Amino acid sequence: MASEKRRPWKITIRLTVVGLFLVLTLLTGTVAIGLQYHFGADMARDAALDVHRQTADGTRQFLAAADAKAATATRLLAAQRELTSDGAPAETARQLFAETLSRNPDFYAAYLGFDDGAFHELVNLDSGSRVRERLGALPQDRWVEISVTGEGDARRREFRYYDADFELRARRSEPSSYRPDRRPWFLQAQRDEVHKTDPYLFQHLQAPGQTYSIRLDGRPAVLGVDIALTALSERLAGQKRRDDSRIFLFDRDGELVASSERGTPPVDLPPAEPLTLTPAEHDWMVQHPTLRVSSELDWPPYDFTPASRGVMPLTSWS
């Protein structure tokens, strides 16, 4: 039998047209999907940037408004001659403080510090959710009045808890070493302008905030108005778009000022090693049995800074 010759395979016009159609369809689909992804990603990025801009603008406006209100309120309060009487808080000081704090619910407290070390403060319990817990106040309390008087071992701090009508509910006192005349807000206060401190840890609230202070003209006292950063943190928490999102506010130096976090998880501290002193250090400790220690920057004699920056000992005050 003669072997059959195979006919050569040819690309027909029909096959060419179908193939070109499939290739063009695939190419068109790929380009369309790519463009859709590209424009979709751009839209999502633009939407996210718009949200960030709105959050940043809202926070900026809040900070600017709070800053202007605090500076203005401090100046207006300082102009009131009824704040002090004979080098002490006047009876009208509490009412003046209450009116200022009521009109400005973001203000944490208003107070007077005197050159002799006396201190008088009115705390606004409605200024933040953590204030009542920190100061041990009850839901029916509206104000806490704090006074620090006395010298040496007799120096005491008294807390008085009032309702909205200033009816006294409870009072307590405790020993205290707090002296306003050693605090930066007191030492840096000027008569002709309002001084704004960097964020620091409030003594009684044990939370960060800023103080606006001014020295009273012709009187041995400095007026201070506090804004706790917990109020800003609560505002940031209210601006979150999703439950799993986080907002953090930093200053120019990269220090965290406020965040939308409701709480800080507990941290287990490492065990402390016994401190070995040289004979000279031991003798110095014997001669100086009382040491002042702070958890703030620029507050002698010892300051504890973040771990990345180590522990910075400063010269003790004599």
For residue range 178-207, what is the model confidence (pLDDT) as tens digits? Answer: 899 989 999 999 988 999 988 877 877 777
- Helix (H) / strand (E) element for 85: namely strand 84-85
Domains in the chain: how many in total? 1
Q: Is residue 62 part of a domain?
A: no
Decide if 253 is inside a domain: no
Higher pLDDT, 49 or 294: 49
Query: Which of 32-36, 81-85, 203-207 is modeled with the greatest confidence?
Result: 81-85
Are the C-beta atoms of residues 112 and 120 closer than 8 Å to each other? Answer: yes
Residue 76 belongs to domain with CATH number: 3.30.450.20
Range of the domain at 116: 67-233
Alpha-carbon gap, residue 283 to 288, rounded angstroms: 9
| 18: pLDDT strictly greater than 50 | yes
For residue 6, being part of any structural domain is answered with: no
β-bridge pairing 293-294 and 302-304: parallel
Has residue 117 been placed in a domain? yes
Q: Which of 240, 185, 193 is nearest to 209 (CA)?
A: 185
Q: What is the mean pLDDT of residues 110-120?
A: 93
Q: What is the mean pLDDT of residues 226-247?
A: 71
Q: What is the mean pLDDT of residues 62-71?
A: 82
100 found inside a domain: yes
Helix (H, G, I), strand (E, B) or coil at 104: coil
One-letter amino acid for residue 22 of the chain: L
Tell me the pTM.
0.65
In a domain, 299, yes or no: no
Q: Where are the alpha helices (DSSP H) in 104-225?
A: 129-135, 184-187
Over residues 23-38, mean pLDDT: 82
pLDDT value of position 8: 61
Question: Would you say residue 27 lies in a domain?
Answer: no
Of 96, 132, 126, which Cα lies nearest the Cα of 111? 96
pLDDT above 70 covers a percentage of the chain that reads: 80
Domain assignment present for residue 263? The answer is no
